[in-house]
Amino acid sequence: MAKTEPGPHNFVFGNYAPAPESKNHFKIKKSYDLFIGGKWVKAPKQFETSNPATGEVIAKVGEAGKKEVGQAVKAARKAFEGEWGQLSGAERGKYLFRIARLIQERSRELAVVESMDGGKPIRESRDVDIPLVAAHFFYHAGWADKLNYAFPGVKPKPLGVVGQVIPWNFPLLMAAWKIAPALACGNTVVLKPAETTPLTALKLAEIFEDAGLPPGTVNIVTGAGETGQALIEHPDVDKVAFTGSTAVGKAIRRAIAGTDKKFTLELGGKAANIVFEDAPINEAVEGIVSGIFFNQGHVCCAGSRLFVQESIADKVIKKLKKRMETLIVGDPLDKNTDIGAINSAEQLERIKALVKAGEKEGACIWQPEGRLPRKGNWFKPTLFTECAQSHRIVQEEIFGPVLAIQTFRTPQEALEKANNTPYGLSGGVWTDKGSKIFKMTTGLKAGVVWANTFNKFDPTSPFGGYKESGIGREGGVHGLAAYLNF
C-alpha cells in the first residue's frame, strides 16, 4: 500500500533482495608500482588504498616522491621530443581510438574497481562513469588530426609536458577528461590520481601498455598532496591541469605565479537548482534527487542549493521527502544501491561538521529514518529547510548528500540569491515556459546550466566554472584550447 506520510525505511535492505556485482572476473594486484616511461617503477614508500564501504585494504600503491616525479617529467619530455611528439595527428588519433576500445572491452572490470575503491554505486560507475571515459577518448581521438579547423586563423601547437592532478569523486572519468584532450593535442602527460582512489588510473596504465602507447607519453605517479605539489612545481612542466577544491586551486595558482606555466582549474561549486511553480513537478523532484544525491553528493556541480518558488514549496518538499525515503543507501557493488559509501573517513567528518553547523545556525534538518551499515563510511541523504543565505550550509561546499532548501517569489529574487556566491560552476532551472528558461539561464553566473534536467555530461559539451569555480573549460571544442598554444 502506498504511504502518504514519511515513515521508517531500512536503508540496508530496502524492499529488494541483494544483487551484488561479482568481482571474480578480474584481478587486483596486491601491490602497484608507479608507471613511468612505459615501465613499472618501484616507489621508495607505499600506502594502502581501502574500500570505503568496508574499510578493507584493497591494495598497496607506490608513493612517488620528488625524485620519481622528476623521472616521470623527464620521461614525458623525452616522449614529447621523441616518438609521441613526432607522430602525425592522424596516428595520435588511432592510439586514442584504440584506447577507447580497450576501455569499452574492460568496462565491467573498471566499473567494479571504481566502486570498490571509491564507494560509488555500481549503477553509476557502470552506466555513467565508465561509458563517459570511453566516450572521452573516442571524441578526442577524432580531434587529433583536425586541430587547425578548431581555431580559425591560428596554427595551434601542443604545449609540451602537462602535469595533471585529479580528485577522488570521479577517478577514472577525471583521468579521461585530462588525458584524452592532452594527447589529442600532441602533449605528453604526468598524471597524479587522488590518494584515496588510485586503482582505476593504474588499470588505465595497463590499458596504455596494452595499446602500445609510446613509453613516456602518459606517466602515472600515485601519492598524496606532496606528490601533486612536486608535479605542479616542477620547472619542466609546461601546463598544470587541476580538478579539486577551490582552496587547493588557489594555492596552485599562487605556486605557479610568475612562471610561464599555463593552467586550467576545475574547482568547487554550490549550484542553485531553481524550481518554478510552472515546472513539471515530478521530473523536477527527480532532478533535485539526481542533482544532489548522485555520487553521494561528491560532485563539484551538485545542485546543493534548492530554490523553490514559495507557492509550491510545501508540495515539492513533501514529494522530495517521499522520494528520499525510497533511496537505498548501502553496498556500492549492489545493483539496487542509490547512494554508496562516503569516499573517506576524513570527508565523512567534514560533512558531519557542516551538517552540525547547519543545525546550530538554525536550519531545520530532515533525514529519512533507517539504519546504516555498521562498517564503512556512510551518511544519510539529508535536507535542510529554513535556510538563510548566511548559513554555512548555504555558503560552503559540503561535497556530500546534503541539500539546503530556500524559497523565492520572483525570477529576479531567485537569480540574485542564486548568484550570491563566490562559486559559479553550474545551475539548474525547472519551468515549462521557454522565455523564463532563457531569462534564468542567461542570468545565472555559471559555466554549465541545466534546464529541466541536471547533472548531464558529455565529451562534446564544455564544462567549467565562472568566478571561483575555476578557470578554463574541459570538453568540446573549447576544452581543446586548454592544451594548445596559439
Partner 1 sequence: MTIKKTYKLFIGGKFPRTESGRVLDVRGKDGELLANASWASRKDFREAVVAARKASGGWGKASAYLKGQILYRIAEMLEGRRAQFVVELVAHGISEERAEKDVSEAIDLLVHYGGWSDKYQALFSSANPVASSHFNFSVPEPTGVVGIIAPRRGSLPELVSALAPVIVGGNSAIVLAGENALTAITFAEVLSTSDVPAGVVNILTGKRAELIPEFAKHMDVNAVLLCSNDKDEKKLLDLESAENLKRVSHQKDAPLKESPYHILDFQEVKTTWHPIGV
Give the nearer residue to partner 1 in terms of CB position, either 28 or 256: 256
Three-class SS of 343-407: CCHHHHHHHHHHHHHHHHCCCEEECCCCCCCCCCCCCCCEEEECCCCCCHHHHCCCCCCEEEEEE
| Residue from the set 200, 284, 467, 482 that interacts with partner 1 by CB under 8 A | 467
The C-alpha cell at 266 is 576545475
Task: Collect all residues with Cβ–Cβ distance below 8 Å to 1 and sequence separation of at least 6.
Answer: none
Bridge partners of 191?
Answer: 164, 220
Residue 468 contacts partner 1 per CB under 8 A: yes
| Residue from the set 2, 3, 152, 435 that interacts with partner 1 by CB under 8 A | 152
The one-character DSSP state at 278 is T
Give the nearer residue to partner 1 in terms of CB position, either 134 or 292: 134
Nearest approach, Cβ of residue 146 and partner 1 (Å): 14
- On whether the CB atoms of residues 35 and 61 are closer than 8 A, the answer is no
- On whether the CB atoms of residues 214 and 44 are closer than 8 A, the answer is no
Nearest approach, Cβ of residue 420 and partner 1 (Å): 14
| Residue from the set 323, 345, 477, 485 that interacts with partner 1 by CB under 8 A | 477
Q: Which stretch binds partner 1 (CB under 8 A): 122-130, 298-306, 348-356, 458-466?
A: 458-466
Residue 462 contacts partner 1 per CB under 8 A: yes
Q: Where are the alpha helices (DSSP H) in 217-372?
A: 225-233, 246-255, 281-293, 313-325, 345-360
Alpha carbon distance 287, 289 (integer Å): 5
Q: Are strands 57-63 and 31-32 parallel, antiparallel or unpaired?
A: parallel
Nearest approach, Cβ of residue 289 and partner 1 (Å): 16
Q: Which stretch binds partner 1 (CB under 8 A): 89-97, 321-329, 363-371, 437-445?
A: 437-445
Residue 460 contacts partner 1 per CB under 8 A: yes
CA-to-CA separations, 454 to 146, 288, 322, 393, in angstroms, rounded: 31, 8, 20, 21
Please tell me the count of residues contacting partner 1 according to CB under 8 A: 44
Residue 126 contacts partner 1 per CB under 8 A: no
Residue 253 contacts partner 1 per CB under 8 A: yes
Q: Which stretch binds partner 1 (CB under 8 A): 60-68, 90-98, 146-154, 192-200?
A: 146-154
| Residue from the set 34, 72, 231, 265 that interacts with partner 1 by CB under 8 A | 265
| Residue from the set 108, 352, 392, 478 that interacts with partner 1 by CB under 8 A | 478
290: left (phi over 0), alpha (psi -120 to 50) or beta: alpha
- Per CB under 8 A, residues contacting partner 1 are 135, 152-154, 246, 249-251, 253-254, 256-258, 265, 267, 422, 437, 441-442, 446-453, 456, 458, 460-464, 466-468, 470-471, 473, 476-478, 486
